[in-house]
């Protein structure tokens, strides 16, 4: 919720009466949140305004315990992060060098989302994180939409894993259209001028920053073999004013949609073969996938960070 004074707060979407969701919308404007069940209402800071059926005495008695339950949220480069974990490490230190090495050079704070959507896939969330970060499958699955896309592995402190694709023309267009895209984002600098960063902000926020645009694919696990996917496409604010914005942006959207459909398909397909408990091997070209998987295993087992870094290089 963004309040009138511009403060941002995140809450669990559960009424403090008997728990119904306060809304099923993902965006919109309201003066107050009103629960559809018995019409308890809350202001944009989560404070209880009215409580149908609750006597003044009982309300007094429950004081403070009837406001919405807030979730930690923080902003970095105009992106809002919601932290559902018990770990209350400040966002800046969680993101570490991602901010100076990638977010700022690519001018992420200027990106404006022009399209987003949400859907469910029948695959484990990790399969999608893996497919985001490997290029071995690219010529197999994305032959016409991407083609070959060599990458270099990035190093840097913080809870992210990334690769860099050195390119002259943005890879956000299909190979036969490269060079006919928008001008580069004003003010980009450093390596952001020379190519595209593909990163996972752990555990499942895939964010790609190219010289002219940005896109993300956020994965939220639902169960062992279902994941909710949220996709967003962004351009820098000055690009939205380009005289041919509608025509040119359509070329990006078609390419993004196609690549994402191809990855949706292959992750659901892969999932079907994973129920037989067979083991496999990583190739040398999947070092980042292996690294990610090592991090996940280590976090699940509670191994110290030094341990998983060692495992990543040795195994």
Instruction: Return the number of other C-beta atoms located less than 10 Å from residue 157's C-beta.
Output: 11
**Which DSSP letter does residue 8 get?**
B
Taking a C-beta distance cutoff of 8 angstroms, is the pair 123, 267 a contact? yes
Residue 20 binds which entry of Fe ion, ligand FES, none, CB below 5-8 Å type-dependent: ligand FES
11 part of the interface to ligand FES, by CB under 6 A: no
Q: x/- site string to ligand FES, residues 38 to 57, per CB under 6 A? A: xxx-----------------
The Cα–Cα gap between 136 and 283 comes to 9
Transcribe 230-258 into DSSP letters: EEEEEEETTGGG-TTHHHHHHHHHHHHHH
Q: List the interface residues with Fe ion, window 128-167 (CB under 5 A).
A: 131
Taking a C-beta distance cutoff of 8 angstroms, is the pair 73, 45 a contact? no
18 part of the interface to ligand FES, by CB under 6 A: yes
List the helix and strand counts (H, then E) for the chain: 8, 13
The Cα–Cα gap between 257 and 145 comes to 10
User: Residue from 3, 7, 20, 69 that binds ligand FES (CB under 6 A)?
Assistant: 20
35 part of the interface to ligand FES, by CB under 6 A: yes
Of 35-43, 145-153, 233-241, 298-306, which segment contacts ligand FES by CB under 6 A? 35-43
Residue 263 binds which entry of ligand FES, Fe ion, none, CB below 5-8 Å type-dependent: Fe ion
Taking a C-beta distance cutoff of 8 angstroms, is the pair 135, 196 a contact? no
As measured in angstroms, the least distance from the Cβ of 263 to ligand FES is 39
15 part of the interface to ligand FES, by CB under 6 A: yes
User: Residue from 9, 12, 13, 17 that binds ligand FES (CB under 6 A)?
Assistant: 17
Taking a C-beta distance cutoff of 8 angstroms, is the pair 182, 193 a contact? no
User: Residue from 263, 271, 291, 312 that binds Fe ion (CB under 5 A)?
Assistant: 263
Of 4-12, 113-121, 165-173, 258-266, which segment contacts Fe ion by CB under 5 A? 258-266
Report the interface residues with ligand FES, using CB under 6 A: 15, 17-20, 35, 37-40
């Amino acid at each position: 919720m963004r309040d009138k004074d511009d403060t941002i707060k995140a809450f669990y979407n559960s009424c403090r009466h008997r728990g119904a969701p306060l809304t099923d919308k993902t965006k919109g404007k309201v003066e107050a949140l009103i629960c559809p069940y018995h019409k308890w209402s809350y202001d944009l800071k989560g404070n209880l305004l009215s409580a149908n059926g609750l006597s003044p005495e009982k309300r007094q008695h429950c004081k403070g315990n009837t406001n919405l339950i807030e979730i930690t949220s923080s902003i970095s480069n105009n992106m809002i992060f919601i932290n559902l974990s018990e770990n209350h490490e400040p966002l800046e230190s969680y993101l570490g060098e991602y901010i100076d090495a990638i977010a700022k050079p690519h001018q992420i704070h200027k990106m404006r989302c022009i399209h987003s959507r949400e859907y469910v896939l029948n695959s484990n969330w990790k399969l999608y994180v893996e497919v985001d970060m490997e290029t071995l499958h690219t010529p197999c699955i994305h032959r016409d939409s991407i083609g070959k896309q060599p990458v270099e592995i990035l190093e840097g402190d913080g809870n992210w894993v990334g690769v860099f694709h050195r390119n002259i023309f943005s890879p956000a267009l299909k190979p036969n259209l490269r060079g006919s895209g928008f001008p580069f984002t004003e003010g980009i600098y450093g390596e952001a001028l020379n190519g595209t960063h593909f990163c996972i902000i752990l555990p499942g926020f895939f964010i790609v920053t190219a010289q002219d645009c940005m896109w993300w694919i956020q994965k939220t696990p639902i169960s062992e073999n279902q994941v909710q996917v949220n996709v967003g496409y962004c351009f820098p604010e000055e690009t939205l004013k380009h005289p041919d914005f509608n025509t040119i942006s359509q070329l990006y959207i078609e390419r993004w949609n196609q690549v994402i459909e191809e990855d949706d398909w292959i992750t659901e397909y892969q999932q079907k073969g994973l129920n037989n408990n067979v083991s496999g091997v990583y190739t040398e070209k999947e070092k980042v996938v292996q690294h990610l998987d090592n991090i996940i295993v280590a976090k699940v087992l509670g191994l110290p960070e030094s341990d998983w870094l060692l495992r990543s290089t040795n195994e």
